[in-house]
Amino acid sequence: MQYEDGHFYHCFYTLLKAKAQMLHWAKGTIYRALALLLFSILDRFNVPSTIFVPSGLIGKHNLWDSGKNNLKRNLMNARQLLELKQEGLVTFGSHSIDHQSFRNLSINEMRKQATVSKETLEELFNHSIKMFSYPYGYFSNLSTNVISDAGYEIGVTTRWGTMNSKKHILRLKRISFLESDDYDIIRAKIEGKHDLYYFRGVGSKLRSIADRHYM
């Protein structure tokens, strides 16, 4: 159930609702090659999803992976994103301008990443952008305040977990999947049975592996 080729690419954080279960598809910009396959499946089962788009990389490729021996992958262009919007099952959020980690940015640079990407996407989609996915999952009290001031109402991290609350709506946790996960592991993750392992650090090694796919 992993679509690591589907990005937009970090930001494919998809919220899946099926049989009263919620599933998070990590990775948010959809790679062009898998877009048709992925969304034909989601459309078939009437599953809503959210794509987090790095606004400055629309129609380009995964520049943030350069120097990591990763394959160059083309990202969706504006026309393809608008076609997905018309399907009605896809909503969009920001994944910054160019996928820079907020860990290394000044407050002014964070503000630029949050506000400019929001404005660009709002102009493209002609509606408000209220969700933000932190590049590489990094967040802090400062970055949370920055995206709140920019007008975002939801923030998504890479912290593991199935339990979230409105109190921490700007730093939501999520779960991720590996290509090697079988049915039992996928079901256990969805049902929250892995949450305690990750909380105790038992799953840190697996988390590290997953992060290579879902950042």
Q: Is residue 7 part of a domain?
A: no
Q: Is residue 99 part of a domain?
A: yes
Hey, which bits of 69-185 come out as E strands? 90-94, 131-133, 154-160, 172-174
Check which CATH number belongs to the domain holding 67 and give it.
Answer: 3.20.20.370
Q: How many domains does the chain fold into?
A: 1
Query: What pLDDT, in 10s, does the model give residues 22-63?
Result: 333 334 445 565 566 667 777 777 777 788 899 999 988 888
Which range of 40-44, 82-86, 144-148, 154-158 scores highest in mean pLDDT? It is 144-148
Q: Is residue 205 part of a domain?
A: yes
Q: Is residue 53 part of a domain?
A: yes
**Residue 3 pLDDT more than 70?**
no
* Residue-range definition of the domain harbouring residue 160: 14-214
Q: Is residue 9 part of a domain?
A: no
Q: Is residue 6 part of a domain?
A: no
Specify the pTM.
0.76
Q: Is residue 1 part of a domain?
A: no
Q: Is residue 144 part of a domain?
A: yes
As a whole number, the mean pLDDT across the chain is 76
Give the side-chain half-sphere CA count within 13 A for 210. Answer: 21
> 40 to each of 30, 46, 48, 49, 206, how far by Cα in Å?
13, 10, 12, 12, 30
